[in-house]
Amino acid sequence: MSYLHACLIGKRNMLIIRSFTTLLLTCIAFRLACCFSSSISPLKALPLVGHLEFEDIHHASKDFGNRYQLLPLAVLHPKSVSDIASAIRYIWMMGHHSQLTVAARGRGHSLQGQAQTRHGIVIHMESLQPQKLQVHSVGAPTPYVDVSGGELWINILHETLKSGLAPKSWTDYLHLTVGGTLSNAGISGQAFRHGPQISNVHQLEVVTGKGEILNCSERQNSDLFHGVLGGLGQFGIITRARIALEPAPAMVKWMRVLYLDFSAFAKDQERLISADKRFDYIEGFVIINRTGLLNNWRLSFTPEDPLQASQFKSDGRTLYCLEVGKYFKMDDNKDVMNQEVKEWLSELSYVSSTLFSTEVTYEEFLDRVHVSEKKLRSKGQWEVPHPWLNLLVPRSRVNDFAKGVFGSILTDTSNGPVIVYPVNKSKWDNRTSAVTPEEEIFYLVAILTSAVPGSTGKDGVEHILKRNQRILEFSQAQGFGLKQYLPHYTTRREWRSHFGPKWEDFVRRKSRYDPLAMLAPGQRIFEKAQWISHSS
């Protein structure tokens, strides 16, 4: 056989293979299209108070992270809990033959497509409107409020303040839904005292992956109750929650000070979270190579010593800011409070010239991030990629982490804050699905960098993701034993390692409450087809 003849045969074989492959992929795509299209007619026939949208659905394929785009088959706008149950029950009754999945979406503030589903049903939880938020303060052992899973925390704040009450634990950003934060944990500067939001819930109403509507609490369906809290949406959709309340303060004395040394900064933070009834809010953040930092603070804060503050230079330094808040009521003796605050601060080792303070209403303080949001939106800098990295670092290794990351791997904080503060593990309920390090005190380290769309430089998505990976690899090599908060993994092995001793319970609950693995596919913990094969 001649060389030319052999080449011609080879080319013909390649053409045959390509044609076969194209035909096979076309058949698969056609079959999938048929499967999904055949689901549309029965879905349209579901008896709903709300409605299913099949056309205007592109908004449900995006989230705050702005990195993943998965187009659903439909978006459910429920007007009642039974709407959600009906849609899920329909898919449940289809059994193993259906590839439809369901994702609950609040404000779409997830980072990596966790509230998305390709060719599935996205449930727009904000459509689930209650008749009215009901605050219960008379006749109850402790006050509480019953709210929809799609309600925003900012609305809960506004409504409960009318009764002189407020939830105990918050997130830094309040324009999030109740179901969204309770499916993760919900933490902010009050968590050292009250624990995360999942530690301040009395009762839930949940729609499981079988379409069941179940009430659960510590005494009723407790396995589901604890599983759903911090459960990443894997066992059910939170449609109602009973949130613990406390008397609300009127005002907040809000203070910031700077440290040059991380160990001193961390030591003082730990001293404060261990102190009884001092500050009500304790956070901190890392500042790397920021110019004119204290001058920027003057826009909202007043320096204790204006002259010394004007002489402090932040250029080229890695600094650590301690941020604290003291709540008070209008009839409190401010002179006494200010003297107490002064005494508490005198025990700390911050740079004396950097004390700044202000007084704001409690509502303004809690909604402080929304002010930044409006500014960023006005500049077109809000809806950009957010390749954030949130970590929980054990106290015993936090100094090593800071030494290896801040100013080394992480060399700039101009494109987003780096938040660092400790919390007490004793305030977390270990029966929930939320995962934390084993030590009594651990730190939240939230590296909240925004990327510049289309950039290929240091402020681009790819560079930031590589930097985040370096931080994770460094931490793993050093054996820090940290955990991801708002976790994102792609393999079963990684998820098993993340959950550790809780993994077996997590898998058991999945089998019990969502046996078809239809819920929250965007978390990428259980893939529907593989899970069906595994569990059958």
Residues known to be catalytic: 109, 172, 283
Torsion angle defined by CA atoms of residues 42, 48, 51 and 55, in that order, rounded to the nearest 10 degrees: 0
d(Cα 507, Cα 228) in Å, to the nearest integer?
13
In 3D space, the residue among 233, 234, 214 whose CA is nearest the CA of residue 222 turns out to be 214
Question: Dihedral of CA 494/479/318/258: which sign?
Answer: positive
Residue 170's closest CA among 363, 439, 390, 388? 363
What is the residue-wise DSSP string for 174-242?
--SBHHHHHTT----TTHHHH--GGGSEEEEEEEETTS-EEEEESSSSHHHHHHHTTSTTSSEEEEEEE
Indicate the helix (H) or strand (E) that contains 113: none
SS3 505: helix
Alpha carbon of 292 to those of 310, 316, 439, 450: distances in Å? 9, 11, 38, 21
**Cβ(433)–Cβ(226) below 8 Å:** yes
Q: In sequence order, what DSSP letters do the residues of 454-477 get, joined into one string?
A: T--STTSHHHHHHHHHHHHHHHHH
Distance CA 90, CA 113 (A): 24
Give me the residues paired with residue 356 across strands: 256, 303
Q: Cα dist. 142→29, 135, 303 in Å?
A: 56, 11, 40
CB burial of residue 10 (10 Å; 0-12, 13-18, 19+): exposed
d(CA 219, CA 242): 14
The single-letter code of the amino acid at 89 is R
H-state helical runs in 301-397: 306-311, 334-346, 362-366, 368-378
